[in-house]
Amino acid sequence: MELKKSPKADLRRNSSLYFVLGLVVVMALVYIAFEWKTYDEASNYDISMDVEELLDEEVPMTEQLKTPPPPPPPAAPEVIEVVEDEEEVEETVIESTETSQEQEIVEVEDVVVEEMDEDIDVPFAVIEDVPIFPGCESVGKAQLRDCFNEKMQEHIRKNFRYPEIAQEMGVQGRVSVLFTIQKDGSIGNIRLRGPDKNLEEEARRIIEKLPKMTPGKQRGRPVRVPFSIPIMFKLQ
């Protein structure tokens, strides 16, 4: 007697199809694993510049010299000599400086007094005629200081560039800048003090790009004018 088996109960039925499908899935997973790529998260810097709205000028500090006290007055003599009233005292005769008709008058030629060109520095806060920044020529004398400060802020914003090496190192802080507007209107004697050399070099580059100005005047004569300004470098 023959055993009859149902075709649906055959375990080897469609085995080759399952093998091919399994092989395809495995190959796809292997391909995805080899082609999978990862990327490092890039750090984005939000660079901003903070220039103080009010430019507080740092007036250079001066050291007051202490003068020694004057010597004490001489002590009174122990013995006081009494002068008799009858003793004659010589009187000092004061000669008159007025000329008489008998004296000959000597004419003196005009004396030429040469003015000494004193090379002095007058701070921006106390100078009579402040230096004129290009673009402030038509402004009244009372508004020249405010116009100078506004033009200085615009110049810094226009030329500001945060050093890349300072960004990578996370360096920030305040750089104090002191420079002198010379008698011919040029910029010189730049001095800087900040937390990092790269920030100081950037501040120097900005100040060296300042245009030539109309020099400041004291009593109608051009003089050198020191000016100080802080520049802030911030990473947010």
User: If you ran DSSP here, which 8-state letter would residue 214 be given?
Assistant: B
Cβ-contact 134, 150 below 8 angstroms:
no
Q: What angle do CA 185, 133, 158 make, to 5 degrees?
A: 115
The whole-angstrom distance between residue 150's C-alpha and the CA centroid of its chain comes to 15
Q: What is the pLDDT along the chain (236 residues), one digit of tens a residue?
A: 555 556 665 666 677 888 888 888 888 888 888 887 776 665 554 555 555 554 555 655 555 666 777 777 766 556 666 656 565 656 666 666 665 556 565 565 665 555 545 678 888 888 888 999 999 988 888 889 999 999 999 999 999 999 989 888 888 899 999 999 999 999 999 999 999 999 999 999 999 999 999 999 998 899 999 999 999 998 87
User: What is the model's pLDDT at position 18?
Assistant: 81
Measured CA to CA in angstroms, residue 220 lies from 127, 182, 188, 217 at distances of: 11, 15, 22, 5
pTM of the model: 0.51
User: If you ran DSSP here, which 8-state letter would residue 142 be given?
Assistant: G
- What mean pLDDT, rounded, does the chain reach? 77
User: What is the model's pLDDT at position 50?
Assistant: 55
User: What is the model's pLDDT at position 35?
Assistant: 83
Cβ-contact 121, 226 below 8 angstroms:
yes
Q: In a 10 Å sphere around its CB, with 0-12 CB exposed, 13-18 middle and 19+ buried, how is residue 195 labelled?
A: middle
User: What is the model's pLDDT at position 167?
Assistant: 87
Cβ-contact 216, 181 below 8 angstroms:
yes
Domains in the chain: ranges and CATH: 46-53+120-236 (3.30.2420.10)
- SS3 for 177? strand
Which residue's entry shows tokens 């499908």? Answer: 21
The type of residue at 80 is I
User: What is the model's pLDDT at position 181?
Assistant: 92
Which residue's entry shows tokens 């890349």? Answer: 164
